[in-house]
Structure 1
């Protein structure tokens, strides 16, 4: 679905990404992880069309994103920090988004209902707690039934029940053939749902391995321990 060929990005003298080559396929859940400053956010912004690469190209379903922005309608994005208008109520935001996306006839309200968004519909966005804002952001990401989901630290500030509801929803959309990219520092939340791990470091792909490959090479079952063992030469 997403093909990244020799993508590089520089900001002045700083090179944020260095000749990145990656493929993302239908029905897979990919963990995009790495230390702060590794290039994760830059790469996500390029996929979303918020930044253009300095060199290289990126295609979604075979279409170069610099030539056609329509692909964005197929992406559901849950940012780490939502930038929703604080003077609007929850209900007003959802009503506005539905008016903007009249082309979508079948809405996906699973997360909306699981997180009881109706119960906070009259609240102003500026008065929501961090967990509530995460729930609103998640419900919006899934609402328009996108083929591609990009979830940036999706479990941050969520309570355990909501966390489990979100993980179950991710498993269901993967079974439907959708593609999910997740960034997270809490690797324990990714156990059981991630098929593949891409680890970025200093703007480069340090490794790109399936969970089965990581399990075989490290002898570990938990993702956090797999990553630590895979990084030991670098950590020393």
Structure 2
């Protein structure tokens, strides 16, 4: 169980999270969505202990995680960009992770699933983006922790690997896990998610079922629902968000886009993301 109460986070004068309250008390898949700068990345990093909130509390399994690190062993994390040493081979990387996190690991099954055997002795820096993402998936899924956090898990995957990833996520859901994911692919969300948390300008705009969200806004698809939310909220959309909407064929009227600017929130989230130093153990293991 994850409980977040009155969470606030600012970077300088810019308030990124403004009193967020959330409760994940049942197994299933929740998609954390929102335009760039809405605070979703900061929210995830607060949960992982990578960003310290200014105010508020986070509880995992009933325990306050403030200044605590052992709780991370209950979380498996797939970052959007895993910064592993590029001079390591795939085999060396997985061995290092297992040495740092000495628990039962299911890496061999996952290596076979994603057909990574030919790449085990190759250096990470020489792998294609899709193959590196498969390695990242193995590193994130090879432990059996009750909480799974997936940040843009589909990046770089071919159709076959995408199907394998979906089946893997469904397997984890069937085990009764709490799974949080972020993605810009709305079709993936519609297929995978049970619930939606939608953030706007650092606040929870919607928290409920996918079906309930579409019904509330009277739209047949999630893409059109998100476009309607942005239209009604009259939020300022960054150029990146507009580009993503066009690429995914979301129809957003000119009335929605008051001005395409890089807001302070977008800049802060980008800077914060660039400063992230991913731990070899995917930021979830305890120090040994």
Q: TM-score, normalised by structure 1?
A: 0.93
Which consecutive segments of 4 or more residues in structure 1 shift more than 6 A? none
CA RMSD in angstroms comes to 1.7
Residue in 2 aligned with 1:117? 116
More strand by share: 1
| Corresponding position of 1:35 | 35
Deviates more, 1:107-116 or 1:182-191: 107-116
| Offset, 1:106 | 5.2
Q: Partners of 2:200 and 2:217 in 1: how far apart? A: 20
Give the drift of 1:26.
Answer: 3.4
What residue number does 1:80 align with? 80
Instruction: Show the counterpart of 1:155.
Output: 154
The runs of 5 or more residues in structure 1 that have no matched partner are none
Q: Is the partner of 1:192 in helix, strand or coil?
A: helix
Aligned to 2:160, the other structure's residue is in SS state: helix
Cα distance in structure 2, aligned partners of 1:108 and 1:125? 17
Q: What's the TM-score once normalised by structure 2's chain length?
A: 0.77
CA contact (8 A) 1:87 1:125 kept: yes
1:54 aligns with 54
Counterparts in 2 of 1:98 and 1:193: CA distance versus 1, 3 Å: same
Q: How big is each residue's C-alpha offset from its partner over 1:106-133, in whole Å with a ceiling of 9 and x where there is no partner?
A: 5365543221222211110111111111
* Residue 79 of structure 1: how far off its partner (Å): 0.8
Q: Within the alignment, does 1:196 sit opposite 2:195 as a pair? A: yes
Q: CA deviation digits over 1:177-196, x for unaligned, max 9?
A: 00111100111122221011
Pair 13,207 (structure 1): closer, same or farther in 2 beyond 3 Å: same
